[in-house]
Chain A
Amino acid sequence: MNTLLLGIGFGLVTASVLAISTVALSLQFGVTRVPNFAHGELMTVGAYAALVADRAVHNTLLAALAAIAAGCVLGVAINKLLFGPFRRRKVARLTLFVLTIAASIIIQNVVLLIFGGSTQPLPGGGGTPHHLGPFLFTTQQEVIIVLAVAIMAAIHVLLKYTYFGRAQRAVAENLPLAQASGINSAQVINRTWVLTGAMAGLAGFVLGLTTGGLYPAMGFQFLLIVFAAAILGGIGQPYGAMAGALVVGVTMEVSALYISSDYKTVVAFILLILALLLRPQGLVTARRPAAA
């Protein structure tokens, strides 16, 4: 029982990292309708930007800000430079998906070229764990969990109560109708990329902190777990993404107690496949009129 609770504790940490990244992926999918295969690279670049900043100024907070800034810049770059030239011509969604795959390969290998393939630890990781109720956390892990919850709350407020949030939901729901209603959809889409790029960059930074090291394929390998969580929750649905992240994160870590932890990702992918086959609409479905 005690070990099970410990496993759930680890699961909450993984779920927190996962939630930040998954909500970003889901929001971004909502407005572009393209599963972004380069989302993992937003995380990788964020993590490496944090590493560079931390080496320069030795400050974890500034490192986190560097991760966020790098994610923003790269997100906008993908939107403007990669998708931009294709948006004017009507291209198939699958073509855009292949484009993000190409972007993912390029960015991953640019990182490999600059930083090399070896694992590099992010300063500020680790720390001694202490008891918190039945769980065992380091202070840093507690900060990450609180951070994730705060971001989820902020996203909720943003989507529900701000003009940008309402416009964002309108574009995600029905692009032509949103445009006809006077919403500047190009601007909304670009701002969504800024927001989700920032979240992905930050997620890369906390991923680097919790797993202890950065390597060029870190985001790419984490990406499929993010997809698992997003699809489990119903892709394009931020609230579903939160639920999906929690389920996948906790299941992965709890499974590591019973079978070899090498199979952790396998468990996540089996969940993904089951989710797609059994409940393709996701855990949380939008309340929409039957006609939609």
Chain B
Amino acid sequence: MLQYFVSIGTLAAITALLTLGLNSRWGLGGQLDLGFYLFVALGAYVDGVLTLPAASTQPGVHYILGLNLPFVVGFLGAGIVTGLLSLAIGSVALRNLRGDYFAIVTVATTIIGYTVISQYTPLFNGYNGLYGASQPLEGVLHLGPQAYQTFYFGLCVVILAAVFVILELIRRSPFGRAVKSVREDEVAAAAFGRNPYRLRLKAYVLGGVVAGLGGSLFMHYISAFNPASWSPLETFLLYGALLVGGTANSFGAVAGAVIVLVAFPQLTQLIPAFGSNSNAGPAVQAIAIGLLIIVVLRFRPAGLLPELKTMSGQLRTRGSWNWRARRAAGSGES
């Protein structure tokens, strides 16, 4: 029973991390990015090819690199590569496209990426994907399978907490407020000397980096990754979590991920399966998430934990949270 909760808890922590990444793009930047999961998948793949041994050791398996590097390198590498891809896509798409057109291009990009990854075998082993991912730090710790699961759960929670704090600091920083001002009123922000395109791009890249880090954790959690284990549709489920939890609120993002994507599916598993239809479980879950999105948009458009838009929420940034202001004040005194 404990192992069950540890396993579910690890999944919850990773999912919450992904939802936080999406929140940077959609909550903070206000960009409807429907291609978010491409970055998660790419993070998993990049981590895989950095940490796995060379492909030539197994017959019929092909993938690039295979450097057998430690987890830390794979984890950071995943974030760097997805950040760079976000920069490349964002610098083209965000400069030229707004709102729904941007959304459509991101779906198209994801499906192009999905097709290329599945079809072009030399890249990430095509449909068979990568498997046999390492257990981070197990070589040093020698914990054994059960204790290791608990350790990995702890590792994911620590990383989630670190990312959460960093994103909160960014959100409360002058940069975070500038991004939100672009989301609220682009013309007004531009009139005050902000560059809407650059601010949106930064929020977009930030989300991409978090997606890559989450993908890396996901890779080592399920130890294998292939086109059957992700689909471009996954992004919509993350939106469900974010909309229900509370767009642009980090606590809301985490709560939404835990409620909608972890607790909810676990509960729907208790519903006895309909006849012999093996698709019933995921289908009922997806239908429920769709209905949940509609109901929340209708009756509680800001989500369960709405974003704090009042000055009292903003004022807290003037206190101990705002390291930049504090440093500026400190250097002034010395």
Q: Which residues of A contact B (CB under 8 A)?
A: 34-35, 82, 85-86, 91, 93-95, 97-99, 101-103, 105-106, 108-110, 112-113, 116-117, 224, 227-228, 231, 260, 262-263, 265-266, 269-270, 272-273, 276-277, 280
Contact = CB atoms under 8 A, between A and B. Distances in A.
B50 interface: no
A94 B115 contact: no
Contacts, number: 113
Interface stretch (B6-14, B264-272, B285-293): B285-293
B22 interface: no
B41 interface: no
Contact of B103 (A91, A97, A263, A270): A97
Contact of A224 (B108, B236, B279): B108
A280 B96 CA distance: 9
Contact of A269 (B32, B108, B290): B108
Contacts of A82: 294
B105 A276 contact: yes
Interface string B98-133: 011101110111011001100100000000000000
A103 B99 contact: no
A272 B105 contact: yes
Contacts of A228: 108
Contact of B239 (A101, A117, A227, A266): A101
Contacts of A231: 101, 104
Contacts of A260: 119
B97 to A, nearest CB: 6
A93 B233 CA distance: 21
Given A105-B290, A112-B279, A113-B279, A263 B115 contact: yes
- B interface SS class: helix
B283 interface: yes
B243 A98 contact: yes
Given A99-B294, A273-B109, A280-B96, A113 B284 contact: yes
A110 B287 contact: yes
A277 B96 CA distance: 6
Contacts of A266: 111-112, 115-116
B108 A93 contact: no
B53 interface: no
Interface of B: 32, 34, 92, 96-97, 99-101, 103-105, 107-109, 111-112, 115-116, 119, 233, 236, 239-240, 243, 274, 277, 279-280, 282-284, 286-287, 289-291, 293-294, 297-298, 301
A91 B298 CA distance: 10
B301 A95 contact: yes
Contact of B290 (A109, A112, A276): A109
19 contacts: A34-B100, A35-B103, A93-B99, A94-B100, A101-B293, A106-B286, A109-B282, A109-B284, A109-B287, A110-B283, A112-B283, A117-B279, A224-B104, A231-B101, A231-B104, A265-B115, A269-B108, A277-B92, A277-B96
A265 B111 contact: yes
* Residue from B274, B287, B289 whose CB has the most chain A CB atoms within 10 Å: B287
Contact of A102 (B99, B105, B290): B290
In the A-B complex, the 9 residue pairs with the closest CB atoms: A106-B290, A269-B108, A105-B290, A102-B293, A109-B283, A109-B286, A102-B290, A113-B283, A112-B283
B112 A269 contact: yes
A238 B27 CA distance: 35
A105 B286 contact: yes
Nearest to B31: A94
Contacts of A265: 111, 115
B294 A276 contact: no
Contact of B115 (A93, A102, A109, A262): A262
Contact of A86 (B104, B105, B289, B298): B298
Scoring A101, A116, A227, A276 by chain B CB atoms within 10 A of each residue's CB, the highest score goes to A101
Contacts of B282: 109
Contact of B287 (A93, A113, A270): A113
A144 B235 CA distance: 35
Contacts of A273: 105, 108-109
A91 B296 CA distance: 14
Nearest to A108: B286
B111 A95 contact: no
A98 B239 contact: yes
B113 to A, nearest CB: 9
A106 B295 CA distance: 13
A136 to B, nearest CB: 27
A142 B331 CA distance: 79
Nearest to A33: B100
A108 to B, nearest CB: 8
Given A105-B233, A263-B115, A35 B293 contact: no
A60 B280 CA distance: 30
Nearest to A277: B96
Given A95-B297, A262-B119, A224 B287 contact: no
